[in-house]
Structure 1
């Protein structure tokens, strides 16, 4: 008897596009991609800083009017045109192909620094057993562990404690990617995401019983209704939603291209979107319950200990683990959750690049994976496990998120909605197989609201970064690795479009034509 995974392998061997063997595996993979490090260390702080409990209103508004519509747009493009981001966009129209390569390059930049954060989390999972950070978690992180240089720049003094776990991350990732969509990505996500949920739920429950947890929850949930009158709060909600759902940088386009022809696209998208949102609320509860304990122990307020991002993860939580009952378990659960969340996201990010190379050059899975993964791993290992790696990571993340992801999304939406006017046909495609139908409202949201919001956020960020050098870093460092990298992405994307498509990966291959013919036949019935 032939199993679904055997059928997928046979299809790949026959030169056809591999597909997820079930909708459940696709949903797990999509949720695994969406639920990343930002859900754990970014959302709680953003909510707290932007109205507390009142932030739920703009957050839900952003999810319903921008996040989910963009997610459906990615699904429609990937599923209809059956390709990676560059191939799907090229099949839509020649002028959109550069946007696909822009997204591929964004994923490359993210992959090379994202992996090192997972390596840190691996080490801190072990450190939790002995509380190796001692009494000063901040000094340990930047000093004894990362040995951060006082000079901002690029150096090649390597930190062995980061090199080896980073190498392990890349070896595991490459093994997963070589195995393919079903035996690699889907199987890994079916392990990573359930483990993440179990560990994080235990962490949240444990945090709720810590002294001071109620104060932390009050700080997180107490609504500041006046904040709703601040445009910046709404911009923060929309900005976070664009990042949180993994939309507009190729991941969901690629994953949806692996779906079977008759798949409920919008129904699957709602499951992914609300699962991601639910996890973010859960993360907020766990993080602020723990911060409440931290404030209680220090005899200060929650506002004094609430910090975002890396500071929360690698300074705040170690401090909590040192003082809390069963602190070792808290540390292991928290950093273990970061490892699993990070691995699921890294796999999805790398798949965008691998799928693009497979499609463009017509290569098989193994050579495409090795040609993409090994150089990416080498760049990651060369630049980030060094005494200056933290500076490069910080700048790369700050600039690629705004001037990579959001800028690419804005260009894509303008091309699809206003230049090519393709939204009605994409809406029609979604409606052929989906339980929730996309009508004129969806088209208006994508064509009008989303570009306005993206433009507003980008202009504000541009002004802020031009007015004040980011984090006070040297201007030459920002010019090369911030502004320079952001400007280079679209230029390289255009150059990549001049590489000819291989005969094997024909722009009008039989699978794609059969897929479209089947839909046209159904539409006419």
Structure 2
């Protein structure tokens, strides 16, 4: 709901059309060939957004019944994530167009990447609404709850693995949960220091490539170790054939 409120307001502000034109009206396909890092950043963004390679989907999937429609739900989640990300792009760039007009700067020169976008562009657009300060408060409360929700998911991924190990099988769950949360809290203190942003940039840079590597080994394990026959037995021929067509078809079209 907050996304569509932001979208509706941003698109009615002066300068919004210039921002939207910057989003979908300017195409530079040379970036895909001249900047290989763009591909890894795009993959990492999708992995972050959906939660692939974090162990979250594997942990929650282990609790689902065997007759669960994994393929249908996976496609639904992936398409929904991409759709809402595309819609959010209109809201963001419309807001950037407004800020560009207000500050008399080109959009490329705005400090609107990462924290600058979250703590600058979003509040500036929401503040133009009637009762804008309350909308800004709602934004940060939503972000706070989103962070807690993400922490639940990440913790569950770790707990599921630990409970399957020999060392933790006989340990009470509260002890494992407390130990995991305490360790995460101690590590998180690093980000509260003066060098917190430096740690964040370093971790963000290396995690991007680590996720791609983990994703490669997960795909290798599913295809070569788990095997095609077991996939057919678990999912059926139609989902597997659709996946194979999408994988090899995209390579053929791109070539």
Compute the TM-score of the two structures, normalised by the length of structure 1.
Answer: 0.42
Take 1:336 and 1:200, find their aligned partners in 2: how far apart are those partners?
A: 14
* Higher RCO (C-alpha under 8 Å, 6+ residues apart): 1
Q: Which residue of 2 aligns with 1:247?
A: 52
Work out which of the residue numbers 153, 156, 171 in structure 2 matches 1:348.
153
CA displacement at 1:415 relative to structure 2: 4.1
Is contact 1:318-1:331 (8 Å) kept?
Answer: yes
Tell me: CA distance 1:317–1:408, structure 2 relative to 1, closer, same or farther (3 Å): same
1:176-214: per-residue Cα shift (whole Å, max 9, x none)? xxxxxxxxxxxxxxxxxxxxxx22222222222222222
Take 2:239 and 2:21, find their aligned partners in 1: how far apart are those partners?
A: 39
Q: Which residue of 2 aligns with 1:374?
A: 182
Is contact 1:200-1:333 (8 Å) kept?
Answer: no
Work out which of the residue numbers 405, 430, 434 in structure 1 matches 2:211.
405
Is contact 1:216-1:293 (8 Å) kept?
Answer: yes
CA displacement at 1:270 relative to structure 2: 1.7
CA displacement at 1:225 relative to structure 2: 5.8
Q: Which runs of 5+ in 2 are unaligned?
A: none
Take 2:40 and 2:157, find their aligned partners in 1: how far apart are those partners?
A: 28
Work out which of the residue numbers 438, 445, 458 in structure 1 matches 2:240.
438
Q: Does 1:300 align with 2:105?
A: yes
1:313-355: per-residue Cα shift (whole Å, max 9, x none)? 1244455566x35442452343334223333322211111111
Is contact 1:212-1:292 (8 Å) kept?
Answer: yes
Q: Does 1:215 align with 2:18?
A: yes
Q: Which residue of 2 aligns with 1:386?
A: 193
Q: How does 1:145-160 map to 2 (within 5 A)?
A: none
1:288-334: per-residue Cα shift (whole Å, max 9, x none)? 12111101111222222263212221244455566x35442452343
Count the aligned residue pairs.
244
Tell me: CA distance 1:329–1:201, structure 2 relative to 1, closer, same or farther (3 Å): farther
Q: How does 1:8-407 map to 2 (within 5 A)?
A: 198-224=1-27, 226-227=29-30, 230=33, 232=36, 234=39, 236-305=41-110, 307-320=112-125, 324-326=128-130, 327-360=132-165, 361-362=168-169, 363-381=171-189, 383-402=190-209, 404-407=210-213
Q: Which residue of 2 aligns with 1:58?
A: none
Q: Which residue of 2 aligns with 1:143?
A: none
Greater Cα shift, 404-413 or 330-339: 330-339
Take 1:333 and 1:282, find their aligned partners in 2: how far apart are those partners?
A: 20
1:47-95: per-residue Cα shift (whole Å, max 9, x none)? xxxxxxxxxxxxxxxxxxxxxxxxxxxxxxxxxxxxxxxxxxxxxxxxx
Aligned-partner SS, 2:64:
coil
Take 2:120 and 2:40, find their aligned partners in 1: how far apart are those partners?
A: 28
Tell me: CA distance 1:269–1:441, structure 2 relative to 1, closer, same or farther (3 Å): closer
Take 2:145 and 2:33, find their aligned partners in 1: how far apart are those partners?
A: 36
Q: Which runs of 5+ in 1 are unaligned?
A: 1-197, 450-525
Tell me: CA distance 1:245–1:423, structure 2 relative to 1, closer, same or farther (3 Å): farther
Cα-Cα RMSD: 3.0
Is contact 2:10-2:91 (8 Å) kept?
Answer: yes
Take 2:228 and 2:48, find their aligned partners in 1: how far apart are those partners?
A: 22
Compute the TM-score of the two structures, normalised by the length of structure 2.
Answer: 0.81
Tell me: CA distance 1:209–1:308, structure 2 relative to 1, closer, same or farther (3 Å): same
Aligned-partner SS, 2:164:
helix
Q: Which residue of 2 aligns with 1:144?
A: none
Take 1:417 and 1:298, find their aligned partners in 2: how far apart are those partners?
A: 52
